[in-house]
A and B are shown apart, each in its own frame.
Chain A
Amino acid sequence: EVQLVESGGGSVQPGGSLRLSCVASGFSFSNYWMHWVRQAPGKGLVCVSRINGDGSNMNYVDSVKGRFTISRDNAKKMVYLEMNSLRVEDTAMYFCARDSSWSIDYWGQGILVTVSS
């Protein structure tokens, strides 16, 4: 059974940093692109970043470029999102998700990030 479990969320002041983690199980982790998708309270879904199977290719949505960094450790079956210079508008539920042939087939339960003074 595919499982994705996020951790590392919490409350932080504007300008602060957080590191989200996601541990995967139930599939051959290194064979899949992985995503971070966020959903602001009461709002829609936004793909924030993705990383390929061997960690050599990363993409970001424009609103987080230069502030967020995605990475992975295939030995630990983990994917990370390092978030710096956080803004109030980064407040959201962050989901770890698996890519399957240019779609997203599995999602974690999500972790809440709140940026507030």
Chain B
Amino acid sequence: DVVMTQSPLSLPVTLGQPASISCRSSQSLLYSDGNTHLSWFHQRPGQSPRRLIYKVSNRDSGVPDRFIGSGSGTDFTLNISRVEAEDVGLYYCMQGAYWPYTFGQGTRLEIK
């Protein structure tokens, strides 16, 4: 299975400051269709995950533009330009290029 490794696992951030989460895959996520199938999700306590980003850098409808996905191949990053209180929770990267789809361990974002 493709191993997804996130860092850091804990991310304390001051309100209004930027945040960055790294995600690395054990194999290239460039698929035969020419797309790179890396997604980002946000999960608040007691809720199901919500997708923020798909195919590395495409924001889902309703996702604020402060969330920016980037990367290629095996190295990916989720940047939050200015953290707001509603951004707390767990962030997961996920690869969909190979079955089984696999997730990173999760990064817990908290407000300092």
Binding site for B on A (CB under 8 A): 35, 44-47, 50, 59, 61-62, 95, 99-105, 107-110
Contact = CB atoms under 8 A, between A and B. Distances in A.
Nearest to B54: A103
Interface residues of B, number: 25
Interface of B is mostly: loop
A50 B100 CA distance: 9
B92 interface: yes
B48 A110 contact: yes
Contacts of B105: 44
A11 to B, nearest CB: 20
Contacts of A61: 1, 100
Contacts of A35: 101
A105 B54 contact: yes
11 contacts: A35-B101, A45-B49, A45-B92, A47-B102, A47-B103, A102-B31, A102-B97, A103-B39, A105-B51, A107-B48, A109-B48
